[in-house]
Chain A
Amino acid sequence: DAKTTQPTSMDCAEGRAANLPCNHSTISGNEYVYWYRQIHSQGPQYIIHGLKNNETNEMASLIITEDRKSSTLILPHATLRDTAVYYCIVISRRRDNYGQNFVFGPGTRLSVLP
Chain B
Amino acid sequence: NAGVTQTPKFRVLKTGQSMTLLCAQDMNHEYMYWYRQDPGMGLRLIHYSVGEGTTAKGEVPDGYNVSRLKKQNFLLGLESAAPSQTSVYFCASRGTSGRQTQYFGPGTRLLVL
Query: Besides A41-B107, A101-B35, 18 other CB < 8 A contacts?
Result: A41-B88, A43-B90, A43-B105, A43-B106, A44-B90, A44-B92, A87-B42, A93-B100, A98-B48, A98-B50, A101-B33, A101-B45, A102-B100, A102-B102, A103-B42, A104-B43, A105-B42, A106-B42
Distance of A55 from chain B, by nearest CB (Å):
12
A65 within 8 A of B: no
* Of the residues A49, A95, A97, A105, contact of B101 by C-beta under 8 Å: A49
Residues of B with C-beta under 8 A to A103 = 42
Q: A98-B50, A99-B50, A106-B42 are in contact. Are A93 and B105 (CB under 8 A)?
A: no
Interface residues of B (CB under 8 A from A): 4, 30-31, 33, 35, 37, 40-45, 48, 50, 56, 58-59, 88, 90, 92, 94, 96, 98-107, 109
**When the two chains form their complex, are residues A98 and B98 in contact, meaning their CB atoms are under 8 A apart?**
no
Output the nearest chain A residue to B37 by Cβ-Cβ distance: A104
Give the residue of A41, A42, A97, A104 whose beta carbon is less than 8 angstroms from that of B100.
Answer: A97
Instruction: Report the Cα distance A103→B43, complex, angstroms.
Output: 7
Interface residues on A, range: 20 to 34
When distances are taken between beta carbons in the complex, the residues of chain B under 8 Å from A105 are 42
B44 contacts which chain A residues (CB < 8 A)?
Answer: 104
CA distance A49 to B13 in the complex (A): 38
Main secondary structure of the interface of A (DSSP, over half): loop
- The interface bits of chain A over 40-75 (1 if a CB of B lies within 8 angstroms of the residue's CB, else 0) are 011111100100000000000000000000000000
A35 to chain B, nearest CB (A): 11
- B43 contact set on A, CB distance < 8 A: 44, 102, 104
How distant is the Cα of A93 from the Cα of B97 in the complex, in angstroms? 10
Shortest C-beta distance, A56 to chain B (Å), equals 16
A85 to chain B, nearest CB (A): 9
B3: nearest chain-A partner, CB-CB: A43
Residue from B42, B94, B101, B103 within 8 A of A107 (CB atoms) = B42
| Highest count of chain A CB atoms <10 Å: which of B43, B45, B96 | B43
When the two chains form their complex, are residues A44 and B104 in contact, meaning their CB atoms are under 8 A apart? Answer: yes
